[in-house]
Amino acid sequence: MRRFILAFGLFSLSALPAFADLYLEQTTTQYQFWEDTVGEISHQKIYLKEDLMKIENVETKEVVIIRPDKKALFTLDLNEKIYLEFPLESLKEMARDTTTEVKVEKTGRKKNIMGYPGQEIIILKDGEPIVEMWITEKIDPGKSYKELIENLRFFPESLIEELKKIKGIPLKSKFTLNIGQLEINAQTTVEKISQKVIDPAEFKIPPSFEKIEFPLE
């Protein structure tokens, strides 16, 4: 489930404003079986600086830091002061899928969200919608975050190519995940957007944290 939250966090962002740091606050609501059955509500703080990303879960005090410069993804437990390191190449192998057909389509629907003009897009997997997004192009996209997605390779290659076509910042997203007979739906809503200078220290592992070995198989 935590990998699902990370994946959805990445789905919820598709471009970084050129030459600017970006800070977001968002709420993610998970639903199980039916949309009126709430499973979990969480809040995330997201920091983006050049090709670096940090996602912090406010409730659990868990953090994900993505460092393409170190070719690694780090997960931190702020309560226990421990962290794990995952090579990005290993995540690429985990996500390898050559059988899935993925497409991005614009629906033509438009509305204002948080004062920004938005348009709806959907991501289709084998013809079935798995992600619905309301995107604003008011914030000009740059290349840094697209390079982050490409280097991360967390998703299947076909999905990465489609994600790179998306311009703008998603303000609302809905994601559907099927695990066996269980269908999980999650909705994310951005509640704050700030273009401000972010301290590079946000993306560093605190020296007091202990590294835990957890080999990927």
Taking a C-beta distance cutoff of 8 angstroms, is the pair 94, 76 a contact?
A: no
Domain presence at residue 53 = yes
Domain presence at residue 213 = no
Helix axes 144-152, 88-95, angle to 10 degrees: 70
12 or 49, which is more confident: 49
Domain presence at residue 129 = no
What is the pairing mode between strands 169-179 and 182-194?
Answer: antiparallel
Total domains, the chain: 1
Write out the residue range of the structural domain in which residue 88 sits: 2-96+142-167+177-208
Domain presence at residue 81 = yes
Domain presence at residue 113 = no
Domain presence at residue 24 = yes
Most confident of 5-9, 19-23, 37-41, 45-49: 45-49
How many CB atoms sit inside 10 A of residue 134's CB?
23
* Per-residue pLDDT reduced to its tens digit, 86-117: 887 776 655 555 556 778 888 999 999 988 99
* Per-residue pLDDT reduced to its tens digit, 178-187: 656 666 788 8
Domain presence at residue 127 = no
Strand partners, 210: 82
* Per-residue pLDDT reduced to its tens digit, 140-164: 545 545 555 555 555 566 666 776 6
**Any idea what the CATH number is for the domain that residue 45 is in?**
2.50.20
Starting at the edge strand that comes first in sequence, how are the strands of the sheet with 116-125 ordered? 102-113, 116-125, 128-136, 169-179, 182-194, 22-32, 38-49, 52-57, 62-67, 72-77, 82-87, 210-211
pTM for the model stands at 0.78
What pLDDT is recorded for position 62?
95
